[in-house]
Amino acid sequence: MATAAVMSGNAANRGFLFRRLHTLSGVIPVGMFLLEHLFTNATATVGPGAYNNAVNAIQHIPFLHVVEFIFIFLPLIYHGVYGLYSAYTSGYNALQYTWARNQLFIWQRITGVITFVFIIYHLWATRFSGQEPNFEFVHNLVSQPANFIFMLVGVIAATFHFSNGLWSFFVHWGITVGARAQRVSAIVLLTLFVLLAAMGVVSLVAFVQGW
């Protein structure tokens, strides 16, 4: 965290900087990558050829490993590990205070932990499996019921965490300030969650069905 020391110039501001980097990294680039990933997967609904073409295009990005490390792995690890710490230090009082926003506060943390575990499994089963990523490989993977259920839970948790996290991002960055603006953004972003989750599930089903 060399940038941290430079940016803060003051040890007391470190907490502020770490938190802000956490909300920022969740959207840029991790959230953007999630969207890209969901859209790539959705090409499976068009057919194996479309999916294999999309994967092939990604495989030909120049300096792929560097891009992947800087724009995906590094921010993802930071967001995930700091998020676990943040979930640990949060208090949980939704049994006493049952308002919707307080419930969502807890679900944000629950889905964060689920997504963290899911991503580790997901990376191990696909990215670091040593196998060629193509339609057939994914088809064989998700055709196993246990894998399918794990993928289903992972997709729903990740899309909820992204959509609800984006609501929080807009507050943390002072974009939605008033109560009305925050209410509207909640409706829009929960709709986004439903759409993204549906897209993820439909793609999963397309992988299972084959063609």
Give the count of alpha carbons within 13 A of 204, CB side only. 21
Compose the 17-56 pattern: x for residues touching another protein by CB under 8 A, - for all others. --xx------------------------------------
Tokens coding 123:
């990376």
- Burial status of residue 11 (CB atoms within 10 A of its CB: 0-12, 13-18, 19 or more): exposed
29 and 72 Cβ atoms separated by less than 8 Å: yes
Return the residues of window 129-168 that contact another protein according to CB under 8 A.
167-168
Least CB distance from residue 58 to another protein, whole Å? Answer: 33
Q: Determine if 88 is a binding residue for another protein (CB under 8 A).
A: yes
Least CB distance from residue 59 to another protein, whole Å? Answer: 37
Q: Which stretch binds another protein (CB under 8 A): 30-38, 43-51, 72-80, 99-107?
A: 99-107
For residue 205, CA distances in Å to 80, 123, 129 come to 28, 20, 22
CA of residue 65 relative to chain centroid, distance = 20
Task: State the residues that interact with another protein by CB under 8 A.
Answer: 7, 9, 12-13, 15-16, 19-20, 86, 88-93, 96-97, 99, 101-102, 105, 167-168, 171-179, 182
